[in-house]
Structure formats: structure tokens, C-alpha cells
Amino acid sequence: MTKPEPDLLASLQTQIRELQADNEMLRSLLNQQQIQARQWLLRRTTELQHDAEEQRRAESMQRVFYRIAERATAGLSFYDFLQVVHQLLRELMFADNFFVALHDHDRGLMDYPYYVDEKDGDVMQRDGVPYKRGMTEFVLESGKPQLMDATRFTELRKSGFMAEASGDLSFSSWLGVPMQIRGRMAGVLVVQGYTPDVIYAEDDVNILGFFANHVSAAIERYQAIEELRKSEARYRSVIENVGVGVVVVQDGRMVFVNPSMERIVGHSTQALMALPFTGTIHPDDVPAVVERHQRRLRGEPVEETYSFRIITDKGEIRTLDLSAVLLQWGHRDATLLFVVDATARVEAEQNQKRALQQQIELNDLKSRFITMASHEFRTPLATIHGSVDLLMHYDDRMPVDKKRLTLQKIDDAVERMTHMLENVLVIGRSDAGRLQFKPQPFQVAVFCKSLVDELRSAMVEPFRRIQMAMDLPQDTDVYLVDEVLIRNIVGNLGRCGGGQYDGESASLTGRAL
């Protein structure tokens, strides 16, 4: 075997050293790449873990927000709703100590409808708290989240921003975020911790901020529902207590009846709603009511108010006044009726008409009486005047019997005028309501016979032969009668009705009593 030449050996040794250096460099590069790969993998793993955590948190928040919206319309009381909100918030962050504050701008007061705190308990849960310089009010005035620890709180308190803060102030970390409700900064959500391990950070600010946005929207819906319920309750209270009957008619039947309608028509709600809406209307008025109802449904003009009669469960007939408007009831056409019991008014109108008619008749009677009385007064006055004139001029030449007859005429005329004056006084007392009725035992037959004798004696000779037929009770029969009144009544009937004098000729016409 031959020995290599020295130059060749040296060349090979140089190549070996170069190869060794390249190997070391490659190994160093490989190590660097492995380190970079591990760092990238760690970084990517961290990013994926963070993304997964963010995804889980987003899904959790989305689930929480959905449940908030769902519970806002579940019919819970406001406190129970906020209690659910508290439970859901605890799924996202530490929120053992949590309260909700609402600002009433119109009254300038703060309400704390929900307040749970391990130090304060629930004594801070009250409404109508005066607005002051406290931590909650500071969040409202700043309009942005406020994250505080003891140091920042002390600084703000010294500057006057927290001069009126109340409750236990020994917290380690406090976080409040504002809520916009109906376009105004009107609420605050607050969480706080009292132990050193509870330290809120920016992530918590973001979480509570997102949470507050959804809670404020839910509170808006909840308050709107509550106001609607209160409005419905007030409306129902008014409808149920108003004195007017309120009815909704749809498809020919009553679908709503208020208590006043029960009272007016005298039938129960169940009975009314089981019948056609015309079931209690008087049969004679049904066609007119149905015709007006159909015209209203067709949109044709109908009288604003009209009257009709109904029959109560006791068979009484009442008159009702009705006015109506069209409305949508359950997304279908219906008629809203307002009913007033007009029975008393109609009866009063009828009584007024009767009284007016009676007054007209009475006035006519008075007019006729005055005409007759004036006519009747002229006859005895003429008799008196003639007799006096006769005595004044022929007294010394008149026979005694003629003079006595003339004086008797004067006396009869005076008595007749006195009787007519008594009638006028009786009528006056009757109109004034001062006519007295004093009944006494009275023999009607004897009275009638004596009255006929008086009338007959007062008649002139040709009329005394008139035959009269009388149907009277026994003379011994006694009745309770006011003799003065019955004498006036019968006497007036005899003079004005049955035995009317024509005045000038003093002749008796008509039938005798």
C-alpha cells in the first residue's frame, strides 16, 4: 500500500474541517428552527386556546343574553326578573355582590330595585333615594364605566366626587357601568368584591358593559310591559267601575260586558254572552236596532245616539240610550257600544209632557171659568142694578109685595155672587195646595135631594116642570164626605155642566142634575 502524498493529505484534512464546520452550522440552524417552531407552536396553541376561550365566552354570553331577553317577557315581577339577571351574571364573572340602580330624571331620585351585598345586605334596596354625590351617581354623570380600587376611591372622595358615598366602603374592587334606557343615561349595574383576590380588570369591564347593554334593553321591554299592564289595569278599572254600560259585539254576540251593563239590563254576564246581542231587546225594537247595527258595520252613516227598550230578567221594561263605534277586536271587526239607562229620563219627559198637558187643560179651564164667571157676574149685577134703580125711582108707588120681590131678587143675586166668589177661593186654594179635606159622616141621598130642591126653587116657573130621574143610595146610608167640597163640586156641575145658564135670558138649557 502506498502512502498518500503530503499535499493530498493536507487537502483532505482541510475538507474534513470544512465539512465539520458546515455540520456545526447546520446543527445550529436546526436547533434555532426547532426553537422557533416550538415557540410558534406554543404561541399558536395559546392563540387557539384564547380563541376557544373567547368562543366559549361568546357562546356563554350569547346564551345568557338570550335568557335575559326570554325572562324579560316571562311575566315575572321586576325583582324576580333582576334576581334572574344576577344569577346569569354570575355565570360570566364574580358578581356575588351586585345591585341595580335606576335614575328617575323627572323626580330627580334614585331607585334601587335590586341590591344584594355581603356587607350591606339588602337594606339599600329602596326607592325614592335623593340624588347625591356618590359612586353610582358618578358613573351616571361620567356616562362611562368606572373601575375603582381603594386608592382611586380615596382620591375621588378627597376631590369631592364621592363626598356622599354610602354603604360599606371597605371594598377591594368596585366596578360600575352605565345603562342607556329609552335614550337617556338612566341606570347603573354595579359589582364589587371585598377580598384581595377579587380584582376587576378591563376584561371584566367589557363583560359587564356588554351585559349592561342587554340588560338595559330588557329593562326597557320590561318597563314597557309593566306600563302596558298598569295601563290595562287602569283601563279595566275604569271600564268596570264606570256607570255606563260597555259592550263589545262581534258576529252578532256580546264578547265583552262590563259590570254596569249587568246592573242596567238586569242579566248576568254569562247570560248576556250566551244570547244573541238582541236577546234582551224588546221585540218591537229589534228590527230597528239590527238595521242600525248592520249599517254601522257597512260603514254607512248612523245616528250617533238612539234609544230602544229592553226587558230585564224580572220582566221590567227599561229604555236605554246607545252610542257605538267600530273597532278591531282580536284582529276582526266589532262594535263597541256605550249604553246608558234612560228610563228615568224618559219617564221624567213623559211626566213633564203630562204635566204640561194638564197645565194647558187647567189654563184652558181657568180661562173658560173666568169667561163664565165674568158672564155670570154680569147677570146678578144687572139684577141688583135694575132692582136698586127701580126702588130708587118707584119706591113710593110700588106695592109692598112688589117691593118685597124686588128686594128678594137683590138678595138672591148677592147670594149667587157670594157662591161664585167662594168657588174662586176654592180653586185658588186648590192650585196653592192648601185645600183641606175634612170628611164627616154624610147622607149622600138626603144631600142630593135637598140640592135638587134648591135648584128647582131657583128655576123660573116654566122650567120647574122638568122631570128628573135620580139613582141614589138609601137615605140611611152614610159616607165619609167633606160636605163643603162636595157641595161646591156638585153645585158647579149643576151650574156649569148640567144646568148651564145662558146669562142674559137666565134660561136653563141642557140636562138637569
Superfamily designation of domain 71-232:
GAF domain (3.30.450.40)
Q: Are 134 and 164 in contact (CB under 8 A)?
A: yes
- 117 falls in which pLDDT band (50, 70, 90)? very high
pLDDT digits (tens, 9 = 90+) for 58-69: 677 778 778 877
Q: Is the pTM of this model over 0.95?
A: no
Task: Select from 212, 189, 193 the least CA-distant residue to 112.
Answer: 189
Residue 504 has pLDDT above 60, yes or no: no
The band of 455, judged by pLDDT with boundaries at 50, 70 and 90, is low
Q: How confident is the model at residue 4 (pLDDT cuts 50, 70, 90)?
A: low
Distance CA 413, CA 93 (A): 122
Predicted confidence at residue 192, as pLDDT, reads 95
Helix (H) or strand (E) holding 365, with range, is helix 343-394
**Hey, what's the cell of 454?**
134648591
The burial of 174, by beta-carbon neighbours within 10 Å (0-12 exposed, 13-18 middle, 19 or more buried), is given as buried
The string of pLDDT tens digits covering residues 264-281 is 888 888 888 888 989 899
Q: Which whole number is the average pLDDT over 197-204? A: 92
pLDDT score for 22: 82
Tell me which residue of 320, 316, 319 sits closest to 337, measured CA to CA. 320
Give the mean pLDDT of 205-215. 88
Tens-digit pLDDT profile for residues 355-380: 888 888 878 877 777 777 676 677 77
| Mean pLDDT, residues 219-242 taken together | 76
- Give pLDDT, residue 444: 82
Instruction: Collect contacts of 27-30 with beta carbons under 8 A, ≥24 apart.
Output: none
Choose among 72, 57, 59: nearest CA to 214: 72
Q: What CATH number was assigned to the domain covering residues 343-435?
A: 1.10.287.130
Mean pLDDT of 251-262: 88
Q: Give the lowest-confidence range in 250-254, 277-281, 321-325, 487-491.
A: 487-491
Highest-confidence range of 246-250, 423-427, 456-460, by mean pLDDT? 246-250
Residue 343, pLDDT above cutoff 80: yes
At 25-59, the pLDDT tens digits run 888 888 888 888 888 888 877 777 776 766 676 67
Q: Which of 101, 72, 131 is nearest to 192 (CA)?
A: 101
CATH code for the domain defined by 242-341? 3.30.450.20
Residue 434 confidence (pLDDT): 65
> Which residues fall within 8 angstroms of residue 479, CB to CB, at 6 or more apart?
441, 442, 443, 444
Q: Confidence band (pLDDT; 50, 70, 90) for 304?
A: confident
Q: What angle do CA 431, 434, 438 make, to 5 degrees?
A: 120
pLDDT at 508: 31
End-to-end CA distance of the chain: 195
Task: Give Cα 309 to chain centroid, integer Å.
Answer: 25
Burial of 103 (0-12, 13-18, 19+ CB in 10 A): buried
* Within this chain, domains 71-232 and 242-341 share the same CATH topology: yes
Residue 510: pLDDT above 60? Answer: no
**For 138-165, how does the pLDDT look when each residue is reduced to its tens digit (9 = 90+)?**
999 999 999 999 999 999 988 888 888 8
Residue 322 · residue 310 · CB < 8 Å: no
Q: Is a pLDDT exceeding 70 seen at residue 513?
A: no
pLDDT of 194 reads 94
In this structure, are residues 114 and 79 in contact, taking their beta carbons and an 8 Å threshold? yes
pLDDT given at position 492 = 61
Per DSSP, 149 falls in state -
**How does the average pLDDT of the chain come out, rounded?**
81
Structure confidence at residue 42 (pLDDT): 82
Selected residue with higher pLDDT from 305 and 467: 305
Residues 435-445 have a mean pLDDT of: 81
Residue 478 one-letter amino acid: V
Instruction: Report domain extents, the chain.
Output: 71-232, 242-341, 343-435, 436-499
Greatest Cα-to-Cα distance within the chain, rounded to the nearest angstrom:
226
